[in-house]
Amino acid sequence: MPATTRKGKAKSASSGDGDNPSETEAIEAADDRSGRARKPSKKQAEINEDKQTAVKRKLEAMQKEYKKLKQQAKKLKTSKAGSKTSESAGNASESSSESSSFSPESEEEDETVATTRKHQSADATARLAVCHFRVIARLRLAVHRLRATARLPVHRLRVNVHGRAVSFVTSASWSFAISPLLAYCTRPLTLAPLATTLLGPFIIIPTPFIPTAPPSPLALPPIITITRPLPSWPLIFEQPDHLGAPPPALPAQAGQPPTGDLKDPPFLHGRTPTGKPKAGDYEAHVNKMIVRACHQYEVLIATEDAFPDLGTQDGWATQVWTDTCKRTQVFYKLTERVEKIITGRDSHARGGLRDKIRPHIAATYGFVTDGSERAKGANRERYRFLLDCDASKPEPVFHYKDVESRSGFAHNVLILRALQDHWFADGTSPGIKYASQFSPIREVTLALVFTTIQFCLDQWADGTFNKHHMYTEKAYKSQYDMHLRHIRDWCAMDVNASRTVRQRLYDRARRASGAAPVTAPCPGLSDSSKERLRAELAAQAAACDSDAEENA
């Protein structure tokens, strides 16, 4: 078979004709050039170099992680061996304090002390990790209880922190869940700062109650470090009024809901709706239940927290739905769709109050509506005066009865009108139906009215009415907190007097609604009358016995 390659041709040519060596060398040189690898371009070389660098970095990171895991495994192994010879937990603090004040006499003793401390630290870290998993398990049990009963009992604790009486308000299931972690803390640790950091929505506060900002992780004692936060869950948190007002109460009917699996509320005509959830998507009786739950939810917005967080919203939705089911004795599961309908009423509750207040702003505070430049300038000056914008720490004056002299705190005529129009319009209004929530008028309710009035004033900030200005939580949550702080400072000056003033506000609004006044219970017999009648009854009984003996 004839040779088909160049090399074969070259060999055949050289073998056939030895007089032409230059041609043979040229063919061999061409073969060498074709066999060499092609040199990459500059851009391709940079790409290849970047890839190699990335691979090296990943390899180094993996090696570091491997070393770290290897060291942790070694520490755990040594901690287990050292725990067999360690003392009991009660003497751990004493031994640590002695070791800290111990002065080693040689390098060997110094290394021994350091090794012992490392073992103790690793042992503590391992036990804390185990404790964390116990907390997770108990939290799952708490979630199961919440799903089964739809309500968590409130659990109140009182502890002594640095010689001060501290009230701790949480739920029984949360206390049950975090108990292993709190019990693990050594004696020098105080319960207050640790629990404050771990509980999140729950607050440990000295009485009387004055709400504070969310706790900072820096409040955690330096002796212990939590690297992963506990899981949050929407729990019912009852925030007590520091002036002794009745606790949040939406009284439910007696009886417990079924413990078995509950059915989903039936849709209208059995068709699953699409689009935004609404009460009209369900059958008539479920529609009425949802509307009732929404009304109760709006009452909580008005009297407990005007801008609740997501966890509080979910807890309230569960509370009002459970109460509605108990009252109607018809039990359905709180589905995600129904929960969205209920929690979506927060903006509606604030917007309804805004619509009642806005028409009275211009007449109450003297804004001019003719649109002239002179009127715009006067309106801007009036706005800045009412909001106290020129002060370093503004204290709005629009709620005073006399804004010029700043007298009559919370007695502006617009405040009573807002209460009457929104919550006390008639005998079936929320202020009458849920009297325990509004009597006396709560601080939260006044703060919500103040915030809504400020929003309506902000619509006049540039001198003319701006209908595009929005009443959003992001813009007015901080203003609400400021007004609530001012109101609570005012109430704390004289608790009894301020409570009387707020009770008078409620009584005036109730009378304006046309509802029957709250009558005191009929008094019974006095103690002296009871004693006299008791002796008389005894004498009559004795006379009856003597007559019976004579007749016998």
**Cα 230 to Cα 222: distance, rounded to the nearest angstrom:** 18
The verdict on 282 and 384 lying in the same domain is no
Amino acid at 361: I
**Cα 388 to Cα 374: distance, rounded to the nearest angstrom:** 21
In-domain check, residue 388: yes
pLDDT value of position 20: 53
Parent domain of 28: 6-33
The verdict on 300 and 362 lying in the same domain is no
Handedness of CA 184, 188, 191, 194 (dihedral sign): negative
Contacts of 370 (CB under 8 A, 6+ apart): none
Out of 212-216, 418-422, 473-477, which region has the weakest mean confidence (pLDDT)? 212-216
**Cα 332 to Cα 262: distance, rounded to the nearest angstrom:** 6
In-domain check, residue 433: yes
The verdict on 360 and 494 lying in the same domain is yes
**Cα 189 to Cα 48: distance, rounded to the nearest angstrom:** 56
In-domain check, residue 347: no
The verdict on 387 and 358 lying in the same domain is yes
The verdict on 392 and 457 lying in the same domain is yes
pTM of structure: 0.53
The verdict on 465 and 382 lying in the same domain is yes
Identify the CA nearest to 82 among candidates 129, 128, 118: 118
Long-range contacts of 393-396 (CB under 8 A, 24+ apart): 395/486, 396/450, 396/454, 396/483
CA 24 to chain centre: 88
- Whether 270 has a pLDDT exceeding 60, the answer reads yes
Identify the CA nearest to 128 among candidates 226, 62, 40: 226
Domain count across the chain = 4
In-domain check, residue 95: no
The verdict on 314 and 365 lying in the same domain is no
Mean pLDDT of the chain: 73
The better pLDDT of the pair 108, 342 is held by: 342
3-class state of residue 133 by DSSP: helix
**Cα 339 to Cα 354: distance, rounded to the nearest angstrom:** 24
Q: Concatenated DSSP letters for 177-229?
A: HHHHHHHHS-TTS-HHHHHHHHHTT--EEESSP---PPPPGGGS-TT----SP
| Direct distance between the N- and C-terminal alpha carbons of the chain, in angstroms, rounded to an integer | 155
- Whether 476 has a pLDDT exceeding 90, the answer reads yes
In-domain check, residue 215: yes
- Whether 201 has a pLDDT exceeding 90, the answer reads no
The verdict on 391 and 307 lying in the same domain is no
Token pair of 298 as six digits: 């709006």
3-class state of residue 407 by DSSP: strand
- Whether 272 has a pLDDT exceeding 70, the answer reads yes
pLDDT value of position 112: 54
In-domain check, residue 503: yes
**Cα 21 to Cα 13: distance, rounded to the nearest angstrom:** 10
Q: Last residue of a domain, which of 219, 247, 277?
A: 219
Binning pLDDT at 50, 70 and 90, where does residue 225 land? very low
Residue 515: other Cβ atoms inside 10 A: 18
The verdict on 496 and 374 lying in the same domain is yes
The verdict on 390 and 493 lying in the same domain is yes
Exposure of 417 in the CB half-sphere (CA atoms within 13 A): 16
The verdict on 187 and 285 lying in the same domain is no
The verdict on 321 and 358 lying in the same domain is no
Residue 380: other Cβ atoms inside 10 A: 16
Q: Last residue of a domain, which of 219, 239, 259?
A: 219
Does a cis peptide bond (omega within 30 degrees of 0) precede residue 153?
no
